Amino acid sequence: MTLRKYLVLAAMVVLGSLGDLLLKRGMSALGPISIHDWTQAITALFNPWVAAGVVLLIGFFAAYSSALSWADLTYVMPATSLGYVLIAVLSVFVLHEDVSVTRWIGIILISSGVAVIGQSHNTTDKVAHGPEAIL
């Protein structure tokens, strides 16, 4: 795998984690949103923290789409789970959340699974084009 591909996977982890963190920050400031008043969800987009989170998650989606163009879904999805580690660390230090021992154990288990998958090789040899691409 090339450096560019590693950078795309790293961008997915970082952009997704930071986007989620900013969304959490913004939504915590706004308080609970009711499904019965959908306008609250729209006004939430004007919160600078939420808006920044959405922009970062759009960047995540762009990197994710790029990765799916050259790698197996079963390779890309586990790579994104490395974000669980980053989210937990950021939640502790930025949001001052308490992460229980049970959650840390779960994060370690997920990371171990990702390490195993990372040792496998990507079986996508070429990208199919046309109608056969979705078959």
**pTM for the full model?**
0.81
pLDDT tens digits for the chain (135 residues)?
788 988 999 999 999 999 999 999 999 998 888 888 878 888 888 999 999 999 999 999 999 999 999 988 888 888 888 898 999 999 999 999 999 999 999 998 988 887 787 777 766 655 555 545 544
CA distance 48 to 26: 7
Joined together, the tokens standing for residue 128 give: 């199919």
Which residues fall within 8 angstroms of residue 40, CB to CB, at 6 or more apart?
30, 33, 34
Domain ranges of the chain: 3-126
Distance CA 94, CA 105 (A): 21
pLDDT in tens, 29-63: 988 888 888 788 888 889 999 999 999 999 999 99
